[in-house]
């Protein structure tokens, strides 16, 4: 049985330059007309990879102690055969077979040929119920993991449609980067029409008037952004802010104020005016249905920014903005900062379970639609275990 361990991937890649040189030679041969014919992918679910890379990745996942992912990683690691190339195929899409059916791959095996064609350390394809299959290619670099995903025919509308970017770049950030745990900025392919997600006459429609003009696509410019910030005190709630880009400021403000008026008629709450350096707005200070919730909004030069409370707004609008790549959608998760937040919460509540220690410090993702496919590039930056 192959012994797996969680050494950093940077220790395993002295062969990368030679491998890429071979890939260039293969590509040149293909351009000359003597390359291999395009290979059809097998049906269902499958994966293929270099055993030492799969072993290292499983070792990293096993560091997420106490999580279901760590338990699955241990189970898969115990089934790895002692060979250099491994993989599994589940023609009917049974994901359990991808664990139970792991086998050695010979150079002529179709799965190994698919991996070699991609010049990747690990490739896979998984069916899903929300569109076509998701296909991925993993590359181990000296200090990070790079994962390229392609999702065929993702949803165009509904809640999932709001997470599928289009082709047009989303533009620069609107929410500050300092102390940011999680950040998403997106220009959905189908635009933003939140009102269409709320059935007419439903309880949400009656209680919150969510089909108001504020959520019409004619008011918003099609971009949305959300950020969660490190709690300011141990045991405190994270700061949360949402930015919705608008087309015309006066129309957006009028729609927002109309929305607040609807809420005042439905709920026993009252609007309190708010003025910040970035713009004017209002708060609902007596809407105490969740911890620390006193929602506020401010209309800046180009966006409506809503916060969990005034402090959330001040944090989101009072710090420096991060430089951002040109993409229709992007995600930034500061895993090191999330680990710090988990540690603070565990100490505050005297939790018996230790917080999760991530083997990576950051998750970055950028994506856009090409043709009918969603293409995502994810990067997991490696880090050291924080014993504090």
Q: What is the DSSP string of 228-261?
A: EE--SSTTPPPEEEEEEEES-HHHHHHHHHHHHH
What is the average pLDDT across 304-330? 90
Lowest-confidence region among 96-100, 246-250, 295-299? 96-100
Distance, in Å, from the CA atom of 29 to the CA atom of 307, rounded to the nearest integer, reads 56
Burial label, 345 (beta-carbon count in 10 A; 0-12, 13-18, 19+): middle
Task: Look at 202 and 286; give whichever has higher pLDDT.
Answer: 286
Cβ contact 328:165 at 8 Å: yes
pLDDT at 32: 36
- Phi-psi map region of 49: left, alpha, beta (phi>0 left; psi -120 to 50 alpha): beta
Which residues make beta-bridge pairs with 88?
Answer: 47
pLDDT at 361: 93
Q: What is the pLDDT of residues 88-102, one digit of tens each?
A: 999 988 888 888 899
Q: Which among 231, 152, 162 has a CA at the least distance from the CA of 193?
A: 162
Cβ contact 128:136 at 8 Å: no
pLDDT at 116: 94
SS3 98: helix
Nearby residues of 107 by Cβ (< 8 Å), 6 or more positions away = 85, 113, 116
Cα 162 → chain centroid: 13
- Token pair recorded at residue 347: 């100490």
Cβ contact 303:244 at 8 Å: yes
Max avg pLDDT among 159-163, 235-239, 314-318:
314-318
Q: How many CA atoms lie within 13 A of 6 on its CB side?
A: 17
Q: How confident is the model at residue 325 (pLDDT cuts 50, 70, 90)?
A: confident
Max avg pLDDT among 225-234, 284-293, 299-308:
299-308
Rounded to the nearest integer, the mean pLDDT of the chain is 82
Q: Say yes or no to pLDDT of 349 above 70.
A: no
Q: Which among 219, 243, 223 has a CA at the least distance from the CA of 168?
A: 223
pLDDT at 376: 94
What is the average pLDDT across 302-330? 90
Q: How confident is the model at residue 21 (pLDDT cuts 50, 70, 90)?
A: very low
What is the average pLDDT across 346-368? 76
Cβ contact 292:308 at 8 Å: yes
Query: Exposed e or buried b for every residue in 77-104, given b needs 16+ CB within 10 A?
Result: beebeeeebbbbbbeebeeebbeeebee
């Amino acid at each position: 049985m192959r012994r797996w361990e969680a050494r950093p991937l940077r220790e395993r890649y002295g062969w990368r330059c030679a491998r890429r040189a071979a890939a260039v030679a293969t590509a040149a041969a293909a351009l000359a007309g003597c390359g291999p014919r395009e290979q059809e992918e097998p049906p269902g679910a499958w994966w293929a990879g270099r055993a030492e890379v799969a072993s290292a990745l499983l070792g990293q996942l096993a560091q997420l102690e106490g999580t279901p992912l760590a338990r699955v990683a241990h189970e898969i690691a115990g089934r790895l055969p002692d060979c250099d190339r491994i993989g599994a195929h589940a023609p009917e899409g049974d994901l359990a077979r991808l664990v139970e059916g792991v086998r050695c791959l010979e150079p002529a095996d179709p799965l190994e040929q698919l991996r070699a064609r991609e010049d990747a350390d690990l490739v896979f394809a998984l069916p899903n119920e929300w569109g076509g299959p998701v296909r991925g290619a993993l590359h181990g670099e000296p200090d990070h993991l790079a994962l390229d995903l392609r999702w065929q025919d993702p949803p165009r509308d509904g809640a999932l449609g709001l997470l599928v970017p289009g082709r047009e770049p989303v533009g620069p950030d609107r929410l500050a980067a300092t102390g940011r745990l999680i950040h998403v900025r997106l220009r959905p392919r189908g635009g933003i029409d939140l009102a269409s997600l709320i059935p007419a006459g439903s309880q949400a429609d009656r209680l919150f008037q969510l089909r108001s003009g504020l959520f019409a696509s004619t008011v918003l410019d099609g971009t949305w952004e959300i950020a969660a910030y490190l709690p300011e005190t141990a045991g405190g709630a994270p700061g949360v802010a949402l930015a919705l880009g608008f087309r015309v400021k006066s129309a957006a403000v009028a729609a927002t104020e109309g929305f607040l008026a609807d809420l005042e008629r439905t709920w026993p709450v009252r609007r309190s005016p708010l003025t910040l350096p970035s713009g004017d707005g209002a708060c609902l200070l007596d809407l105490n249905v969740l911890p620390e919730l006193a929602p506020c909004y401010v209309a800046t030069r180009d966006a409506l920014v809503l916060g969990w409370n005034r402090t959330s707004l001040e944090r989101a609008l009072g710090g420096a903005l991060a430089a951002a790549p040109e993409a229709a959608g992007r995600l930034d998760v500061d895993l090191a900062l999330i680990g710090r937040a988990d540690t603070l919460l565990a100490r505050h509540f005297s939790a018996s379970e230790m917080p999760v220690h991530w083997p990576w410090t950051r998750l970055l993702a950028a994506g856009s639609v090409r043709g009918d496919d969603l293409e995502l590039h994810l990067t997991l930056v490696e880090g050291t275990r924080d014993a504090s």
